[in-house]
Amino acid sequence: MPPAPLLVVLHVVDLDTALAALHPLGPFFALRTAVTATAAKSTAPPPTLAQAYRTPPPLDPDVDPLTLHLRTVAHALRAPEARIAASVAHQGLAARLWSVALGCAALYGALPDLDARLLRWDPDGSAPDDLFLTQVHARPGDAASLAAAVLDGHLEPLSAALRARCPVAPGLLRGNAASALAGAARQLDGWARAHGRDDVADRGRALTAELLTHPRLAGAGTLTGTAFRRRSCCLYYRVPRGGLCGDCCFTRPPRSSVRGPSE
């Protein structure tokens, strides 16, 4: 008789319901869950990220959480153009999502299910109170799963939603996604090495390098160790007293009348 086929079982590590291992890494990595949430029950729950990604947007902008968030960001930055606020908002949310996903994958070897319908988002909140995961279900923590969770599940619909509300270049948003990933990886690497967790640092680096070869991120910049140099500009230099980001493609702020790469 022929031998029985080999059954390969993918083991998914259990996650603690508070995702407690993320908290020491800082607010961008920490994620509120049903165990750690403290909001009053009488308070109306914030919208889900799936609601924020609605395209086309609601006819009434005052009921659209993403539009309200863009207004808040624009006011805080005194942004002279709507696309600047859109870029900064995009990079901020991308950084949150990559931090949570990469941190979990490196620390636990697994991801929580980050479906946009399970993540509630406070458009006026700051990390870690901006996001609330309503249920914690473990998923695989490999690079393909991270790409599916963050790129497919969030950054693609977020980019589409932003572009439906504001003229912002796809290349800029692609650069933001890569830059946010590299920034999360750099923060994770620094924490891991400072706490003697070389295993976490090595896993974070390996996942990041693999993710940056993904078709939606490949060519967006160059990763050298933990240093990243992007090939597009996030437009932050156009904010009053904004200056250049550490991974900017520019070495000095261009003249405001000249558009830079992928703007």
| 57-98 tens-digit pLDDT | 999 999 999 999 999 999 999 999 999 999 999 999 999 999
Are 162 and 85 in contact by the 8 Å Cβ rule? The answer is no
Q: Is residue 12 part of a domain?
A: no
The H or E element containing residue 103 is helix 82-107
The half-sphere exposure of 153 on its side-chain side, counting CA atoms within 13 A, is 20
222 by Cβ neighbours in 10 Å (0-12 / 13-18 / 19+) ranks as middle
Q: Is residue 9 part of a domain?
A: no
pLDDT-derived band of residue 219, with 50, 70 and 90 as boundaries?
Answer: very high
pLDDT digits (tens, 9 = 90+) for 103-160: 999 999 999 999 999 999 999 999 899 999 999 999 999 999 999 999 999 999 999 9
pTM as predicted: 0.89
Q: Is residue 13 part of a domain?
A: no
Cα distance between the two ends of the chain? 64
pLDDT-derived band of residue 38, with 50, 70 and 90 as boundaries?
Answer: low
Residue-range definition of the domain harbouring residue 114: 20-36+43-238
Domain count, the chain: 1
Q: Is residue 99 part of a domain?
A: yes
Whether 235 has a pLDDT exceeding 50, the answer reads yes
Q: Is residue 8 part of a domain?
A: no
User: Beta 32-33 vs 131-133: how paired, if at all?
Assistant: parallel
Altogether, the residues listed in the chain come to a count of 263
Give the relative orientation of helices 170-194 and 82-107 as an angle to the nearest 10 degrees: 40
Q: Is residue 263 part of a domain?
A: no
- Spatial neighbors of 170 by CB under 8 A, at least 6 apart, are 159, 163
CA distances in angstroms from 115 to 48, 136, 185, 193, 206, listed in the order given: 10, 11, 22, 31, 24
Place of tokens 């140099």: 229
Q: Is residue 234 part of a domain?
A: yes
Distance CA 38, CA 166 (A): 34
Percentage of the chain exceeding pLDDT 90: 81
Ramachandran angles phi, psi of 185, nearest 5°: -65, -40
Q: Is residue 176 part of a domain?
A: yes
